[in-house]
Amino acid sequence: MLAFEVIQYDNTSSARRGRLQTSHGFVNTPVFMPVGTQASVKTMTPAELYEIGVDIILANTYHLYLRPGEDLVAEAGGLHSFMNWGKSILTDSGGFQVFSLSKLRKISDDGVYFNSHIDGSTHFLNPEKVMEIQQALGADIAMCFDECSPYPCSYEEAERAVMRTTLWAERCRRAHTAENQALFGIVQGNVFPDLRERSTKELLNLDFPGYAVGGLSVGEPKADMYSILETTTALLPLEKPRYLMGVGEPEDLLAGVARGVDMFDCVLPTRLARHGTAYTSHGKLTVRNATNARDFRPLDDNCQCDVCRNYSRAYIRHLIKAGEILALRLLTYHNVYFLTHLMENIKRAIAENNLSSFSKEFLARYQQG
């Protein structure tokens, strides 16, 4: 179902290298998972993801439930067959989307009634239904249905969300029966350390094969995010994988790894590309800006991706201004490569016991803009 091994710890932090095994292969950690919300990493083919070196992607339960429906995906042989992806897949529970995308929703301990963002139709999701959907999708790793409290919120709101998250995790554990799929619990608690500790301890009693930290990077100050993350990871078992949900900025990946996180996901690489922005070793580059109109350098002089070896800033800016789809494809390819390559360098730094030095050098360049 799932195996995880810690290979090495970094001497200067809580970072570690590991190896995660699913029914679709090995994933070396720490790892960044590109988001394929609709069973597709936007504008990219699976062959391009293989070429970059991606070993695991994330797909979204909420969106695939609404369209095309988990029954159709199951009929196609599951997500791997449906999208022609032979490596590992993680599906999130859809909880965050239910709470963030639906203006009309009614939540109780039993589950959530909500209106589809597509056509306004009414739906009901509860832990049992979410397990049924994820098992039909056939992902290698599924996530428990949880309640993500907003930021800011009161202590009482965050506490109710923790209570409900634990209740739903217990129900997910009972309803989950797929032997070839691992189920991860999700720690909640907003920015309140005692609630994070409570949530962690309650989920540890359910003995999940892996644990995620949810409800961070939702608007809280960076210092609070890092502090809460450090508090939470210190309570999680060393022998199981740790997943920080929805985080993908390079500085946050470095901070998360240093605090013992093994897995990350985020929509930023594809979203930034759609807005004409590229990650570079010297910070984000807004390619659509007029300053790049006659700049024939690559997006990043330090990058060896196919885009940087073959296309200039001027050409990609031209594509953006002309409304050509190729611009989005090239920028997405580069951004996914950039974060995947960053994680490879992080693993190498851990192996050499110099993550602290690597992080300082990387951030010195990256944050100068």
**For residue range 116-129, what is the model confidence (pLDDT) as tens digits?**
989 999 999 999 99
Q: How far apart are CA 296 and CA 287, in angstroms?
A: 12
Return the bridge partners of 60, or none.
92
Q: What number of other Cβ atoms are within 10 A of residue 253's Cβ? A: 22
May I ask the CATH architecture of the domain 3-265?
A: Alpha-Beta Barrel (3.20)
**Res. 332 pLDDT band, cuts 50 70 90:** very high
Q: Has residue 1 got a pLDDT over 80?
A: no
Threshold 0.95, pTM exceeds: yes
Across 174-194, average pLDDT: 98
Mean pLDDT for all residues in the chain: 96
Residue in the block written with tokens 């962690």: 200
Stretch (H or E) spanning 318 = helix 313-322
pLDDT in tens, 41-97: 999 999 999 999 999 999 999 999 999 999 999 999 999 999 999 999 999 998 888
**Res. 102 pLDDT band, cuts 50 70 90:** low
Across 223-250, average pLDDT: 98
Which residues 6+ apart lie within 8 Å of 320 measured at CB?
Answer: 276, 287, 288, 327
Q: How far apart are CA 242 and CA 116, in angstroms?
A: 31
Q: Has residue 359 got a pLDDT over 80?
A: yes
- Asked if 342 and 40 count as a contact pair (C-beta separation under 8 A), the reply is no
Please report, rounded to a whole number, the percentage of residues in the chain having pLDDT higher than 70. Answer: 100
Q: How far apart are CA 236 and CA 347, in angstroms?
A: 21
Q: Has residue 105 got a pLDDT over 90?
A: no
Looking at residue 94, its pLDDT comes to 87
Q: Has residue 149 got a pLDDT over 80?
A: yes
Give the pairing of strands 122-125 and 141-143: unpaired
DSSP classification of residue 152: S
pLDDT in tens, 15-46: 999 999 999 999 999 999 999 999 999 999 99
Looking at residue 192, its pLDDT comes to 98
Closest among 351, 287, 291 to 317, alpha carbons compared: 287
- Strand locations in 144-300 (E): 182-187, 210-213, 242-244, 263-266, 277-280, 283-286
Indicate the residue type of 14: S
Across 143-169, average pLDDT: 96
Across 254-276, average pLDDT: 98
SS3 113: strand
Q: How far apart are CA 329 and CA 273, in angstroms?
A: 8
Looking at residue 60, its pLDDT comes to 95
- Asked if 91 and 60 count as a contact pair (C-beta separation under 8 A), the reply is yes
List the catalytic residues.
92, 265
Alpha helices in 107-154 (DSSP H): 127-137
pLDDT in tens, 308-330: 999 999 999 999 999 999 999 99
Q: How far apart are CA 141 and CA 135, in angstroms?
A: 10
**Res. 98 pLDDT band, cuts 50 70 90:** confident
Residues of the chain with CATH 3.20.20.105: 3-265
Across 183-212, average pLDDT: 98
Return the bridge partners of 277, or none.
286
